[in-house]
Amino acid sequence: MTYPAAVPYGRLLDHANRHDPYPHFADLAGEPIQRLDECTWVVTGHAEISLLLRDPRLSAQDEVDPRAPVGSDGKPVRGPFLMQDPPHHDTLRAQTMHQFVPRILGIRPHIETTVARLLDRYGGPGEMDVVEALAYPLPVAVICELLGVPEEEESVFHSFATRLTRALDPVETLTEQEIADLAVTRVEWREYLLPMIGRRQTDLGTDLISGLLTEGDPATRMNTVELAITLGLLLIAGHETTVNLIANGTLALLRNPDALDRLRADPDLVPFVVEEVLRHDPPVQQTRRRATADVRVGGRVVPAGDKVVLLLPAGNRDPRRFADPDRFWPERPDNAHLAFGGGVHYCLGAALARMEGQAALGALAARLVGPRLVADPPPYRANMLLRGPAELRIAFDGVAASDAR
Amino acid sequence: MRSGRIVVVGASLAGLRAAESLRANGFTGELVLVGDEPHEPYDRPPLSKTVLSGWLGTDRLLLPTTRNLNARRLLGVAATGLDLPGREVRLADGRALGFDGLVIATGTRARPWPVAQEAALRGVHVLRGRDDADRLRADLAGGPRRVLIVGGGFTGSEVASSCHDLGLPVTVVHRGAAPMASALGDLVGGMIGARQRAHGIELRLRTTVTAFEGEGRLRRARLSDGGELDVDVAVVALGSVRNTGWLAGSGLAADAGGVDCDPAGRALDRTGAIVPDVYLAGDVARWRHPHFDAAPQAFEHWGNAVAQAEVAGYNLVHAPANPRRATALPAFWSDQFGLNIKSVGLPHLADEVVLTQGSFDRGPFVAAYGRDGITVGAVAVNSPRVLDGYAALVTERASFPPAINAADSPEPTVHGGQS
């Protein structure tokens, strides 16, 4: 048996369409929820995705994970909390939030200074790859600051982030070689982090790693392996996504010069620009769940055990929810997009991502003189789930001096 | 109705949002907002929480509003009468305001202590408005020996929590078998009561206060169990009374329980007929929620005020043949003793309750409520992000107990004898 949804979904997976998956999302949008195969559904409706994200009958956890290792305490190691259900999820997430949130509260000036420093390297007419010049180094610098990692280690983090991100893609889009490489990368990541964690165990600092080592109740505190897993999650989820937010945003502004002009005339528009980038071209392209009970949604019943693929960008362009959904329109009222997900797994770093996106796009709009795309579309990385340009070359007549500080 | 004059009586959340909805829907005429308090519209939920515990001043509660509301505000003036045939609202200062359209959003006031002489003692408080909160806060700052809370409903429990945060010894005297039981049921109310006690609150259940004593200043309270308490501060939290006195004799179906309206917000007269161009919104509106087979009731919920105000504004401007109705499920929240309590649906209708996630004894939990085999509500403690899933179950009238099978779901044990 074949299902109509399988064809457009297959085109979504195809790298040849990575630069513009939106027509293929539109092909799936006729029905808010539809079968992909015998045990999988794709969901494209905004209301339906919103509901399923917040439904306790949807699990984010793999059914059984035979690879789950056992920690030094003899208990099974809890995986990254993005892929855990309550109550383990809640414990791990609460510990991370408790240490993460206070550390990002005052970080905006640091972000703005970093953006200014990165753009200060340019002056007269020329070209830059926005990905390499700004989108990548900014979040790496921020996460290294949070973790208390010295600046010279940033390139190591950058490399790990790139390699680990492939792990999030649907396994059917990975080659055997990529799967084998990922296993090696995971071991290397742990080997890189464990000494770093060990040093803090004997000499506590004020950074996030030190905080997590002493967080809360010793009975539920993360062990070192879980800590390494959580840090890997923060690196991928907090880094690659932000890279794509900045690159996607730059692309949208250069493709929509009217919006860029309005942002230049009114810098207070920048939060709305970032929200519209998140709706129009979200960094995270899908998230998956498994039904633990029969769930009625959008007039269908997803039986217990079936999987659902929630296509966040399709929900973000659901014409039932957003007027003129393909239009990039920062002033859009009631822009309740799904870019950060929802429910218990709502993006932990949303506030930080917004700060970084606002600082980067605000500075680019204010400082670039006569910017234009060198190649449209730009080349895209292979990643399907965390989708974004591999490079984004722009030409400009100049980069104005910074007035930040 | 796009022109003429619309009067909104009540300048709190429902009144302000109704005014905004009128403008958003294209009303370009004269808009008058009448409020009995002298303050610009402000948010009430923080009064019992962050305001009392000292985090937020009462001057920081103003409700945000759209820039172009362009409404005349008559603040500090109560409405005292309504002349429907003459299309006039009478005000306490003797003025009369003609109207083409009317929104009634006068809300509630705290139910006062029944003995006026005792209520007048210094140290005896109620809590409904920001002036109440300022007075209570000043009294708490004096370092009372013990604070007595009369009534263990939501306001009483939140005030108890705030006083506890201030390091004050607290006694709660509550008529029922468990705090907040009339909304949450005895079982869940009992679980929350146990957590209140674990914080050191003295919770005296199935007990009432029979008298306040003192000369000028409160010194002592007498209890129905024969006991007495030495206290300097008491907070009377015995629920609310709807502000409908000004509508006496108007012809509207108004009494102490509210003013009747339909789900579209249209006011009803004593025969049940729709009164043209007069709408209700917020705590004062009594109506039958279309989802539930239950008696009409007033929903004293923040979200209900907003939803009804939006609907009233739309219907008043457009007067459509099929008016919009407020259909969102009732929902409310409370923050106390480190617990975030959120409810959806109507748990108080239930005859059965089941723990669906977590544990009653420690940590977060969710309980689902059923009546006649149908899921009618859910309460989540410290797990607000799953509640929309339960709202979907209530909306689809899922059978009870619902199958959840979440990783933190226990074996189902249905508890009967709710409410």
Q: How far is A45 from chain B, CA to nearest CA, in Å?
A: 15
- Of the pLDDT bands very low, low, confident and very high (cuts 50, 70, 90), residue A62 is confident
Check if the beta carbon of residue B6 is closer than 8 Å to that of residue B277. Answer: no
Q: Looking at the complex, does the CB of residue A61 fall below 8 Å from at least one CB of chain B?
A: yes
Asked if A50 is an interface residue toward chain B (Cβ–Cβ < 8 A), one would say yes
| pLDDT number for residue A151 | 77
Q: pLDDT-based confidence at A1, cuts 50/70/90? A: low
Q: What is the pLDDT of residues B245-275, one digit of tens each?
A: 999 999 999 999 999 999 999 999 999 999 9
Which of B387, B403, B406 is nearest residue A86 as measured by Cβ atoms? B406
Domains in chain A: boundaries: 6-64+81-399
A343 at interface of B, judged by CB pairs closer than 8 A: yes
- A67 has pLDDT over 70: no
Closest to A59 measured CA to CA, from A307, A283, A263, A268 = A307
- Any CB–CB contact under 8 A between B383 and chain A? yes
* Yes or no, beta carbons of A346 and B356 under 8 Å apart: no
Looking at beta carbons, which residues of chain B come within 8 Å of A59?
Answer: 406-407
Least confident of A40-49, A260-269, A382-391: A382-391
pLDDT of residue B175: 97
CA-to-CA distance for B307 and B263, rounded, in angstroms?
A: 11
Q: Which pair of structure tokens corresponds to residue A278?
A: 């998140």
Give the closest-approach CA distance of A85 to chain B in angstroms: 6
Q: How are beta strands B30-35 and B5-9 bridged, if at all?
A: parallel
| Smallest Cα distance from A81 to chain B, Å | 13
Q: Lowest mean pLDDT: which of A83-92, A391-400, B388-397?
A: A83-92
Interchain pair A54, B404: CB under 8 A? no
- Residue spans of alpha helices (H) in B246-288: none
Instruction: Identify which of A50, A54, A304 has the shortest CB distance to residue B386.
Output: A54
**Is the Cβ of A76 closer than 8 Å to some Cβ of chain B?**
no
Name residues whose C-beta falls within 8 Å of residue B189's C-beta, 6 or more positions apart in sequence.
B176, B177, B178, B179, B180, B181, B183
Instruction: Please give the residue of chain B at the shortest CA–CA distance from A342.
Output: B385
Closest-CA residue of B relative to A345 is B385
Q: Which of B222, B391, B386 is nearest to B303 (CA)?
A: B391
The answer to whether residue B405 neighbours chain A at the CB level (below 8 Å) is yes
Distance CA(A240)–CA(A242), nearest Å, equals 5
ipTM, 2 dp = 0.83
A303 touches chain B (CB under 8 A): no
Mean pLDDT along residues A122-144? 94
| Partner B contacted by A393 (CB < 8 A) | no
CB pairs under 8 A between A and B: 75
Residue A170: its pLDDT value, please? 77
B407 touching chain A per CB within 8 A:
yes
Q: Is B336 on the interface with A (CB under 8 A)?
A: no
pLDDT digits (tens, 9 = 90+) for A207-232: 999 999 999 888 888 888 889 889 88
Bridge partners, residue B416, by sequence:
B352
Distance, in angstroms, between A217 CA and closest chain B CA? 13
- State the pLDDT confidence band at A70, using cuts at 50, 70 and 90: low
What pLDDT band is residue A405 in, cutting at 50, 70 and 90? very low
In angstroms and rounded to an integer, the radius of gyration of the C-alpha atoms of chain A is: 21
In this structure, the strands spanning A372-373 and B124-125 are unpaired
CATH topology assigned to domain A6-64+81-399: Cytochrome p450 (1.10.630)
Q: Find out whether B14 and B282 touch, Cβ atoms under 8 Å.
A: yes
Which of A43, A51, A54 is the mutation pick for testing B, counting most B CBs within 10 A? A54
Q: Are strands B170-174 and B202-205 parallel, antiparallel or unpaired?
A: parallel
Contact A86 B408 (CB under 8 A): yes
- The pLDDT profile of chain B, 419 residues, written as one tens digit per residue, is 999 999 999 999 999 999 999 999 999 999 999 999 999 999 999 999 999 998 999 999 999 998 789 999 999 999 999 999 999 999 999 999 999 999 999 999 999 999 999 999 999 999 999 999 999 999 999 999 999 999 999 999 999 999 999 999 999 999 999 999 999 999 999 999 999 999 999 999 999 999 999 999 999 999 999 999 999 999 999 999 999 999 999 999 999 999 999 999 999 999 999 999 999 999 999 999 999 999 999 999 999 999 999 999 999 999 999 999 999 999 999 999 999 999 999 999 999 999 999 999 888 999 999 999 999 999 999 999 999 999 999 999 999 999 999 989 998 788 876 54
Of chain A, the percentage scoring pLDDT greater than 90 comes to 68
Q: Is the pLDDT of residue A17 over 90?
A: yes
**Long-range contacts for B195-200 (Cβ within 8 Å, ≥24 apart)?**
B195/B337, B195/B339, B196/B157, B196/B160, B196/B161, B196/B172, B196/B336, B196/B337, B199/B161, B199/B164, B199/B337, B200/B164, B200/B169, B200/B170
The DSSP bridge partners found for residue B122 are B217
The domains located in chain B, with CATH, are 5-109+241-318 (3.50.50.60), 112-238 (3.50.50.60), 338-416 (3.30.390.30)
pLDDT in tens, A337-346: 999 999 999 9
Q: Contact B403/A296, CB-based, under 8 Å?
A: no
Here the tokens at position B159 are 């005030």
Q: How far is A252 from chain B (nearest CA, A)?
A: 29
